[in-house]
Amino acid sequence: MSHDNYELPSIYTRKPETDLESDNDEEVALNVNMSTPPPRSNYRDIHIQDSRTAWLLLLTAFFILLLTTVPAVADLPDINVWFTGDALWRLFDPIITLPLSLFVMTRADIMDQGGRPNYWISLSERSVGWLVWSIGAGIYVQGHGIHTAAALFKHPIQDFNRAHPELVVQYPVLEQMYSNMRDLWEHDIAHYMYAGGAMVMSWAQLFVFRNQVHGPLPTSTKIVWCLGILVYGLLLAAVAIDFPYGLVVGLIYAGGLSVVCISMMLFNTRYLPRGGLFTMGRRMVIQYYLMACVIALVIIIVWICIYGLKTRKAAGF
């Protein structure tokens, strides 16, 4: 057999030039398609996703405010001496609010696409987002459970102490048990775990939405988004006014998070003027937390000017 006519098997042969040319043509076409505006159906899909995000932000803040404020300001009827109406109301909190917060996370592009692989150690950007959110959710639920348990168990002890004051004098530990459940576990540890978990979940949302550009938002979505900002700002202010040392913590947290949100937009502009800071929702989630913190700061400062550093109960409300 002549060596001049010998050819390698086809698997090792070089691709024809026509294949390379077609690949280049596809790449050029892809680049052209990416540079041209998407069809109107895609714009409609984007508006639907933005609308869902705005509604989820509003509903999450609304239900947290509703489920935490009502037991604090209203005296719900007790089921029995061991099971208060307030505790029953609060049992629904994580069942409703955690899924809503989770659904907000799923609206982020990187949660759908995965984000950067190996973003932190061997975890992708999406996995880091879920990790941070799940840690916050765990702290939130633990704080909620401790708060509910302390609120349930303190009332029978309080009723017993009121019915037998002579025994309280003889056994001071009875008053100490009640005080520890009310002050240490319910008001201090549980409240701050509860709020701390919610804050960590909000940080996770800021993380996964930090590169996302929304809109332009239609008017209806802007209205829902602004209502959500107002409700969340009221929630932050209410928590600060109600918690022990909450006014100081609220000032520090709302002020610090505002600076973080502004920095996230100014140092990561996403090709928007000033990072979209002065737009109506182009950086929807970051602006949501920023403006809610501004509202909370205004309310907290006004409260301090009128009542000083007194909590809601200390001020007589």
Could you tell me the pLDDT band of residue 23, with boundaries at 50, 70 and 90?
very low
Contact indicator for 294, 301 with CB cutoff of 8 Å: no
The pLDDT, as a whole number, for residue 2 is 47
Q: How confident is the model at residue 76 (pLDDT cuts 50, 70, 90)?
A: confident
What is the average per-residue pLDDT within 284-300? Answer: 98
Instruction: List the structure tokens of 244.
Output: 């022990």
Round to whole Å and give the CA distance between 28 and 35. Answer: 11
The residues, any chain, with a CB within 8 Å of residue 54's CB and separated by 6 or more, are 217, 221, 224, 225, 228, 281, 284
pLDDT for res 42: 58
64-78, 199-213, 270-284, 296-310: least confident range: 64-78
Mean pLDDT of 255-264: 97
Q: What percent of the chain has pLDDT over 90?
A: 65
Of residues 194 and 12, more confidently modeled: 194
pLDDT above 50 for 11: no
225 CB-near residues (< 8 Å, 6+ apart): 54, 57, 58, 217, 281, 284, 288
Is 281 a residue whose pLDDT tops 90? yes
Name the residue among 222, 296, 208, 299 with its Cα closest to residue 258. 296
Q: Are 148 and 90 a contacting pair, CB within 8 Å? A: yes
Phi (first) and psi of residue 95, to 5 degrees: -65, -30
pLDDT above 60 for 224: yes
pLDDT of residue 65: 94
Q: Which two tokens stand for residue 58?
A: 């509003």
**Cα 226 versus chain centre, distance:** 16
Q: Does the pLDDT at position 34 exceed 50? A: no
pLDDT exceeds 90 at position 200: yes
Q: Is the pLDDT of residue 37 over 50?
A: no
Q: Using the 8-state DSSP alphabet, how is residue 14 labeled?
A: P
Give residue 85's pLDDT band: very low, low, confident or very high (50, 70, 90).
confident
> Among 81-95, 117-131, 232-246, 286-300, whose mean pLDDT is lowest?
81-95
pLDDT for 13 beyond 80: no
SS (H, E, C) 208-272: HHCCCCCCCCCHHHHHHHHHHHHHHHHHHHHHHHHCCCHHHHHHHHHHHHHHHHHHHHHCCCCCC
CA distances from 286 to 14, 182, 258 (A): 51, 36, 9
Residue spans of alpha helices (H) in 92-218? 93-106, 109-113, 125-163, 165-170, 173-179, 191-209
47-51, 174-178, 256-260: which is most confident: 256-260
Q: Cα angle at 66 between 225 and 187, to 5 degrees?
A: 120
Q: What was the pLDDT predicted at 43?
A: 53
Q: What is the token pair recorded at 68? A: 């935490």
Residue 107 has pLDDT above 60, yes or no: yes
